[in-house]
Chain A
Amino acid sequence: MKILVCITHVPDTTSKIQFTDNNTKFDKTGVQFIIGPYDDYALARAVELRDQTGGELTVLNVGEAETEPTLRKALAIGADKAIRVNAFPKDAYFVALQIAHYAKEGAYDLILMGRESIDFNGGMVHGMVGELLGMPSISPVMKLDIEGQSAKMAREIEGGKEYIEVDLPFIAGCQEPIAEWKIPNMRGIMSARTKPLDVVETISDETFSQVNAFQLPPAKGAVQLIDKDNVEELVRLLKNEAKIL
């Protein structure tokens, strides 16, 4: 079985987010980058499925040269080879176009990615890739098993779960608890040194959208605690200071 896992290269969840150039550019100074947490679940499950069924696991990222350490980490975790589409990921459609092209070229049986990235949280790429390739695209998948040419999965829906069966090939946007995140071991890190990491060019420059500016959420205000017996004071503050009554 040939598996493709698409991973994002995103700021660590604890990073301090700042913008420059009049709030149009993300400031990368001092920011640590990681494999997108949802993509990391997809990768972990893909490693398990590859080990179960044999075959080959490729990871792909649309990004500039700085994302290579993230791809190396995916190789250390267990992917067999990596592809970097050499471009800044401009928007979801742009990324989906590249993925669809290289996915088709590689004729993968299974294309996994996170339910969404944690930088822009668009959650659209898997759906767009499905549309572009004419394949089913399912998300968010929290359980995935492969039996022969079909897959059984559980999808999270409002207030419950949906159990789905689908034939290969297909695309899935993954989330926990599909698998436990894998920590690369030292032998994996060693062997990642010599695994292939191919850099390829973009297939199209088309985008659907562009970012004009970013805005940070307003800073949290100070909390004022009022004694539970002092309702009058609470009402007074809500009226005079918060001005919401």
Chain B
Amino acid sequence: MEAVEAKHKSQKQDQFEGVDFYQIDDLLSEEHKLVRGAIRDFVKKEISPSIEQWAQDAHFPYEIVRKFGEVGAFGPQIPETYGGGGLDYISYGLIMQEIERGDSGMRSTASVQGSLVMYPIYKFGSEEQRNKFLPKLASGEMLGCFGLTEPDHGSNPSGMTTHFKDMGDHYLLNGAKMWISNSPKADIAVVWAKNEAGRIHGLIVERGMEGFSTPETHNKWSLRASCTGELVFDNVKVPKENLLPNKSGLGAPLMCLDSARFGIAWGAIGAAMDCYDSARRYAMERIQFDKPIASFQLIQKKLAEMLTEITKAQLLAWKLGKMMNEGKATTSHISLAKRNNVAMALEIAREARQIHGGMGITGEYPIMRHMMNLESVITYEGTHDIHLLILGNEITGIPAFK
């Protein structure tokens, strides 16, 4: 057992220190900094030593679910009465930033549980549903997933075909969802499906219900430490009390996505900072032509641009957090930040990879893992282009989706 443990643990020390060129810390409260420091320590202890191996082995470390629960990474923005943290949106953002600094797949697990499973149950669920599921989801005793995307309906979820029929004493659910984070290990799924009138509703489907299966999606080159799968509903009898009663229509899942995308806008900064931090250190140490490569203008340009983009993204995320706290943030505000920050992180990962030369393609450095992860992050929760169209619609009033 010990030998196995040793194999999975990297000997390398995680020396990450954070990036704060514009003294943005002055905009944070002492509590925000305490939250960030705690999650940074958590990541260094529980994620950094093993993440490279998990990703290489495409292994989802299930025990992290409990640990996330203990540290309070699940639903920090959900009120304490339901087991959440009762923290504000900036704290939530900082938690996502720090976890994604470790790995986007680990952050995905936390995002889905907090924003896509706990949030809809809290916002649209009955009091019984809240009491039954939220404390267990918060503690990590239960893992949840969110089923919106279908094989034939990704960017266009309103076209979904998964549907349910009212059978008097229960609903009969049929259809399939695809690309669902956490699905293979989830205890419950918040599933979006149409009723007979074609209106979208949320249903809580529980593992063990007859006709419900969750096949895993294999061979991903991205988010390898997070598990992804399908949700298949073959005449699943869903008890009536499992329907989320308080909101229906596409707006309901989109509200969940707003909350998750907000977290991603912060998370991406984490991945970008890790790439920058690694590239800066490497550039100072790597000698070519008898000098550290950091002394060449082209490397300095890359580093200077990284720092500039990270700083801009930090300010964007902070202001968006303020607007979320005040209830003023709209879907398009969130789209702008998600789109900008994820693209920024991916660009930084690619540049950082080049600074690391050949070393950049190995698991010795986190770069290639972040880069591959970010390819999912730029696609899920609304693709890069779809967010552009959301903004286009905001500016012109003309939807260009169809």
Question: Which residues of A are interface residues toward B (Cβ below 8 A)?
Answer: 14, 68-69, 72-73, 76, 183-190, 192-193
- B contacts with A: majority SS: helix
Contact with A along B57-100 (1 / 0, CB 8 A): 00000000000001111001000100001110001000100000
Closest B residue, CB atoms, query A14: B17
Among A14, A183, A193, the residue within 8 A (CB) of B38 is A183
Among A14, A76, A187, the residue within 8 A (CB) of B34 is A76
10 residue pairs bridging A and B, Cβ less than 8 Å apart: A69-B30, A72-B34, A76-B38, A186-B76, A187-B72, A187-B80, A187-B85, A189-B31, A189-B35, A190-B86
Closest A residue, CB atoms, query B23: A30
A72 CA / B38 CA spacing, docked (Å):
13
Contacts of B33 on A, CB cut-off 8 Å?
69
**B73–A193 CB distance below 8 A:** no
Using a CB-CB cutoff of 8 Å, which residues 286-316 of chain B contact chain A?
Answer: none
Nearest-CB distance from B237 to chain A (Å)? 37
Given contacts A69-B30, A69-B34, A76-B34, contact A186 B85 (CB under 8 A): yes
Nearest-CB distance from A220 to chain B (Å)? 16
B281 contacts chain A at the CB level, 8 A cutoff: no
**B17–A183 CB distance below 8 A:** no
Nearest-CB distance from B49 to chain A (Å)? 15
Closest A residue, CB atoms, query B83: A187
Bin chain B's interface residue count: 20 to 34
A190 CA / B80 CA spacing, docked (Å):
9
Given contacts A14-B17, A183-B71, contact A189 B34 (CB under 8 A): yes
Contacts of A76 on B, CB cut-off 8 Å?
34, 38
A142 CA / B31 CA spacing, docked (Å):
31
B41 contacts chain A at the CB level, 8 A cutoff: yes
Contacts of B76 on A, CB cut-off 8 Å?
186
A189 CA / B92 CA spacing, docked (Å):
13
**B71–A186 CB distance below 8 A:** yes
User: Which of B37, B70, B73 has most A Cβ within 10 Å?
Assistant: B37
**B41–A183 CB distance below 8 A:** yes
A184 CA / B17 CA spacing, docked (Å):
19
**A193–B17 CB distance below 8 A:** no
B42 contacts chain A at the CB level, 8 A cutoff: yes
Closest B residue, CB atoms, query A76: B34
Contacts of B41 on A, CB cut-off 8 Å?
183
A72 CA / B32 CA spacing, docked (Å):
12
Contacts of A69 on B, CB cut-off 8 Å?
30, 33-34
Contacts of A187 on B, CB cut-off 8 Å?
72, 80, 85
A87 CA / B335 CA spacing, docked (Å):
49
Nearest-CB distance from A64 to chain B (Å)? 15
A184 CA / B91 CA spacing, docked (Å):
14
Closest A residue, CB atoms, query B45: A183
User: Which of A185, A186, A187, A192 has most B Cβ within 10 Å?
Assistant: A186
User: Which of A68, A69, A192, A193 has most B Cβ within 10 Å?
Assistant: A69
Given contacts A190-B86, A190-B87, contact A183 B31 (CB under 8 A): no
A185 CA / B34 CA spacing, docked (Å):
10
A76 CA / B32 CA spacing, docked (Å):
13
Contacts of B80 on A, CB cut-off 8 Å?
187, 190
Contact with A along B327-363 (1 / 0, CB 8 A): 0000000000000000000000000000000000000
Using a CB-CB cutoff of 8 Å, which residues 75-134 of chain B contact chain A?
Answer: 76, 80, 85-87, 91, 95
